[in-house]
């Protein structure tokens, strides 16, 4: 039986799957061959499209010469090993377009490939080409709480309303929207979701045991679109849930407890993906309390998951969050590398070390984490942040595709890029919630889509992905304007916020809006050290914290000297005077002034472009974005004026161009 396509609740934006995106498929004659649950999903999709556009769908007939425009064939390929569970082959000959796959997910991804191509999938001839994801795991971590947290609300660092999964303290009774979410994810290649916050609070800890049925219901809703469910768990679960006196990873009763709890999880969810763990990080429990290493901790959970083929994602975000700001010897940027490099090779095969892309915390500009290049004996996953905690909180337009692409293409050593080193997957903290536009700012949908497509192909051109998203979501008409407002938006955001890689300068706690010294005398280890003479953090080996030495050559040498360090990272690696001349030829202080004026001007221009799209974009969507541009402009001006005034007052150096600084 074909699975009906999920019905969006009234008023919910169809994002990149509006009915019009299915026009080319829906107007044609399609044959579907094969069996299995995902074939029913594919059938449901094609049947729905045909109903709208007058085409026809047939199951399991012989292809026949020219009888069908599209054949979606599961199991008919000669090269099943090469296609794998998720790959597909695409070809067009004699008036028929053919997608062959050897796994259900492959067939589904093949169908969405045809949808993306639209009419182009049905014109000319195309030699058979195989497509498969470069990374097996393409996952979203939802920082969603079941119970509304007194400080963080329901979704930690969430800017898109409440949780898609949880409502009124339990899993939603109506999971139709979750099904629709799974569908959107499949259409951009995402195949896994962790359904709760890495900070596992009291209520959420119980999802592992007596509340696993709620997780199973969510898993049931996501499964038809090939999305597997994962769960964040507390390392202290044996104590807080099991009543044991210890959570020591080498204790036999603890090991037994995890084995039993995990067995029960798989009874409820046979295709459960595994656990996500934040341990010994920002106050979370972990193996350090028992004098054990993080490999001991991760391997404990890996052993419990191993009989079922599950994976533990162990986060490398471990640092001292109670630092004394007077102590210049401790450098938070060094922490992940210092903790984990000595453990390389000690992790079980089904333990994945999940590393944030930068060494600090998702700032608008950071160097690529040196840890990613220093763990050849460990399966690594790279973690990105789609939720825009530090990049405008989905009130500012900040399309992160170019930043993520730079990260994924970065090579610590010539032989492999970050995209290739991420053998354990690419993961993003999700930016979606129950907001009618899914992501608060309608243009932030582009980040979610781009993440999925980059996880599928980390070396893909992000600009091409952006255009694909625009075409699907908006149809023809406003493409050029949309491209213009999104393409450079990350660099614009960087211009009006913290300069030259120095980071933070945000309001403490919620992290929205400027506060230059907000974290300067705090315990969090994120300082800029600005005084009357200069600014920046000396992370050189020669005179600083030594962080630059964590990189392989040539990066270690390049970052070591202010003369060779790339401008955009200068203040991350060096403390320099305001008069220091950048490679661009400008002084640091003049760069700060110029970029902050430019950043605001660029937002003003983008807002005008957006205004000019009225009439080409759905009015509700247009109005929501227009409203957010007002706030972005207000925010950008606030950033400009606070940063420029602060540095004029500190340095006493006037703006060469005599512009107004307060
Ligand atoms: C950031 C964020 C926290 C989050 C943490 C993490 O510090 O502000 O809310 O818990 O990252 O990644 O664990």
Neighbouring CB atoms inside 10 A of 126's CB total 15
Residue 554 falls inside a structural domain: yes
Identify each DSSP E strand in 536-584 by its residue range: 576-577
Residues 574 and 432 in one domain: no
pTM of the full structure: 0.98
On whether the CB atoms of residues 4 and 98 are closer than 8 A, the answer is no
- What range does the domain containing 127 cover? 19-131
Centre of ligand 1 from the C-alpha of residue 277, in Å = 13
Residue 61's pLDDT band (cuts 50, 70, 90):
confident
Total residue length of the chain: 662
pLDDT tops 80 at residue 65: no
- The Cα 466–Cα 487 span in angstroms is 8
On whether the CB atoms of residues 196 and 239 are closer than 8 A, the answer is no
Residue 486 falls inside a structural domain: no
* Average pLDDT for 297-308: 98
Q: What's the pLDDT score for residue 63? A: 83
Out of 151, 200, 282, mutate this one to test ligand 1's pocket (max ligand atoms within 8 Å of CB): namely: 282
Centre of ligand 1 from the C-alpha of residue 313, in Å = 16
Q: Could you report the per-residue pLDDT of 437-447, keeping only the tens digit for each?
A: 999 999 999 99
- The Cα 71–Cα 514 span in angstroms is 55
Rg (CA), the chain: 25
Q: Could you report the per-residue pLDDT of 168-187, keeping only the tens digit for each?
A: 999 999 999 999 999 999 99
Residues 190 and 327 in one domain: yes
CA distances from 111 to 98, 133, 337, 495 (A): 10, 15, 42, 40
Of the candidates 632, 583, 364, the residue with the CA atom closest to the CA atom of residue 495? 364
Q: Among 438, 462, 486, give the residue marking a domain's end.
A: 462
Q: 590: burial class by Cβ within 10 Å (0-12, 13-18, 19+)?
A: buried
pLDDT tops 90 at residue 606: yes
Q: Could you report the per-residue pLDDT of 497-555, keeping only the tens digit for each?
A: 999 999 999 999 999 999 999 999 999 999 999 999 999 999 999 999 999 999 999 99
Q: Show Cβ contacts of residue 457 under 8 Å, excluding neighbours closer than 6 positions.
A: 133, 134
CATH code (residue 23): 3.30.379.10
Q: Show Cβ contacts of residue 426 under 8 Å, excluding neighbours closer than 6 positions.
A: 135, 137, 138, 139, 381, 382, 384, 408, 419, 451, 454, 455, 458
Q: Where do runs of H (alpha helix) occur along 317-429?
A: 335-340, 401-409, 418-421
CATH code (residue 458): 3.20.20.80
On whether the CB atoms of residues 466 and 399 are closer than 8 A, the answer is yes
Q: Answer yes or no: is the C-beta of 526 below 6 A from any ligand 1 atom.
A: no
Q: Among 97, 112, 131, give the residue marking a domain's end.
A: 131
- The Cα 42–Cα 57 span in angstroms is 11
Q: Could you report the per-residue pLDDT of 335-387, keeping only the tens digit for each?
A: 999 999 999 999 999 999 999 999 999 999 999 999 999 999 999 999 999 99
Residues 346 and 240 in one domain: yes
- The Cα 302–Cα 525 span in angstroms is 32
Residues 123 and 154 in one domain: no
Q: Answer yes or no: is the C-beta of 280 below 6 A from any ligand 1 atom.
A: no
Given phi > 0 = left and psi -120 to 50 = alpha, else beta, which region is 113? alpha
Residue 451's pLDDT band (cuts 50, 70, 90):
very high
Write out the two tokens for 521: 């005398």
Residue 66's pLDDT band (cuts 50, 70, 90):
confident
Residues 450 and 543 in one domain: no
Q: Answer yes or no: is the C-beta of 204 below 6 A from any ligand 1 atom.
A: no
The enclosing H or E element of 274 equals strand 274-277
Q: Percentage of the chain surpassing pLDDT 70?
A: 100
What is residue 603's DSSP assignment?
Answer: H
Task: Give the ipTM.
Answer: 0.99
Residue 157 falls inside a structural domain: yes
Out of 157, 158, 525, mutate this one to test ligand 1's pocket (max ligand atoms within 8 Å of CB): namely: 157
Q: Show Cβ contacts of residue 32 under 8 Å, excluding neighbours closer than 6 positions.
A: 39, 42, 43, 46, 57, 58, 59, 60, 72, 73
Number of domains in the chain: 3
Neighbouring CB atoms inside 10 A of 480's CB total 10
Find where tokens 């997910």 sit. 105
Centre of ligand 1 from the C-alpha of residue 116, in Å = 35
Q: Among 96, 131, 166, give the residue marking a domain's end.
A: 131
Residues 575 and 555 in one domain: yes
Q: Answer yes or no: is the C-beta of 316 below 6 A from any ligand 1 atom.
A: no
Please give, one letter per residue, the 3-state secondary structure of 79-124: CHHHHCCCCEEEEEECCEEEEEECCHHHHHHHHHHHHHHHHHHHCC
Residue 7 falls inside a structural domain: no
Q: Answer yes or no: is the C-beta of 317 below 6 A from any ligand 1 atom.
A: yes
Residues 319 and 187 in one domain: yes
Residues 406 and 272 in one domain: yes
- The Cα 97–Cα 489 span in angstroms is 38
Residue 222 falls inside a structural domain: yes
Catalytically annotated residues: 282, 361, 389
Residues 100 and 227 in one domain: no
Out of 142, 317, 366, mutate this one to test ligand 1's pocket (max ligand atoms within 8 Å of CB): namely: 317
Find where tokens 């305001």 sit. 578
């Amino acid at each position: 039986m074909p699975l009906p396509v999920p019905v969006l609740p009234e008023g919910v934006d169809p994002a990149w799957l509006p009915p019009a995106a299915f026009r080319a498929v829906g107007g044609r004659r399609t044959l579907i061959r094969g069996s299995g649950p995902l074939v029913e999903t594919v059938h449901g999709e094609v049947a729905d499209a045909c109903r709208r556009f007058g085409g026809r769908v047939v199951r399991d007939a012989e292809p026949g010469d020219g009888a069908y425009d599209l054949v979606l064939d599961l199991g008919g390929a000669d090269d099943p090993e090469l296609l794998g569970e998720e790959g597909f082959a695409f070809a067009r000959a004699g008036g028929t377009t053919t997608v062959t796959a050897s796994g259900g997910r492959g067939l589904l991804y093949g169908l969405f490939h045809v949808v993306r191509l639209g009419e182009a999938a049905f014109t000319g001839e195309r030699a058979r080409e195989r497509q498969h994801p470069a990374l097996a795991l393409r996952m979203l971590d939802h920082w969603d709480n079941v119970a509304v947290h007194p400080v963080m609300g329901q979704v930690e660092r969430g800017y898109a309303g409440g949780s898609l999964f949880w409502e009124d303290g339990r899993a939603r009774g109506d999971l139709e929207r979750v099904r629709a979410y799974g569908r959107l994810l499949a259409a951009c290649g995402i195949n896994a979701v962790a359904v709760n916050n890495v900070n596992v609070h009291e209520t959420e800890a119980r999802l592992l045991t007596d509340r696993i049925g709620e997780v199973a219901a969510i898993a049931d809703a996501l499964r038809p679109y090939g999305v597997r469910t994962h769960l964040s768990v507390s390392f202290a679960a044996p104590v807080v849930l099991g009543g044991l006196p210890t959570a020591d990873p080498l204790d036999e009763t603890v090991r037994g407890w995890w084995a039993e709890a995990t067995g029960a999880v798989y009874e409820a969810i046979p295709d459960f993906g595994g656990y996500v763990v934040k341990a010994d990080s920002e106050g979370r429990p972990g193996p350090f309390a028992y004098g054990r290493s993080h490999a001991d901790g991760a391997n404990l959970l890996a052993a419990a998951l191993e009989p079922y083929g599950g994976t533990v994602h162990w986060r490398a975000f471990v640092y001292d969050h109670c630092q004394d700001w007077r102590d210049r010897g401790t450098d938070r940027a060094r922490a992940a590398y210092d903790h984990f490099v000595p453990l390389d090779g000690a992790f079980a095969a089904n333990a994945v070390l999940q590393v944030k892309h930068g060494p600090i915390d998702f700032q608008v500009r950071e160097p690529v984490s040196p840890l990613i290049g220093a763990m050849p004996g460990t399966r690594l996953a790279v973690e990105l942040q789609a939720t825009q905690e530090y990049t405008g909180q989905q009130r500012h337009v900040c399309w992160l595709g170019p930043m993520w692409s730079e990260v994924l293409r970065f090579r610590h050593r010539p032989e492999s890029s970050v995209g290739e080193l991420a053998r354990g997957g690419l993961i993003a903290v999700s930016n979606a919630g129950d907001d009618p536009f899914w992501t608060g700012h309608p243009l932030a949908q582009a980040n979610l889509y781009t993440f999925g497509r980059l996880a599928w192909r980390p070396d893909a051109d992000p600009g091409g992905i952006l255009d694909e998203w625009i075409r699907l979501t908006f149809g023809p008409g406003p493409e050029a304007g949309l491209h213009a407002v999104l393409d450079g938006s990350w660099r614009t955001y960087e211009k009006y916020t913290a300069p030259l890689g120095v980071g933070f300068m945000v309001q403490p706690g919620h992290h929205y809006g400027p506060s230059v010294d907000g974290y300067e005398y705090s315990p969090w280890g994120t300082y800029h050290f600005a005084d009357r003479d200069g600014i920046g953090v000396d992370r050189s080996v020669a005179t600083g914290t030594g962080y630059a030495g964590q990189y392989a050559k040539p990066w270690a040498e390049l970052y070591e000297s202010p003369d060779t360090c790339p401008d955009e990272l200068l203040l991350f690696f060096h403390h320099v005077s305001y008069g220091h001349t950048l490679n661009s030829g400008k002084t640091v202080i003049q760069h700060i002034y110029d970029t902050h004026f430019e950043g605001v001007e660029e937002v003003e221009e983008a807002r005008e472009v957006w205004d000019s799209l009225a009439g080409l974009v759905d009015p509700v969507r247009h109005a929501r974005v227009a409203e957010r541009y007002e706030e972005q402009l207000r925010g950008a001006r606030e950033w400009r004026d606070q940063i420029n005034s602060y540095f004029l007052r500190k340095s006493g150096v006037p703006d060469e161009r005599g512009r107004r600084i307060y």
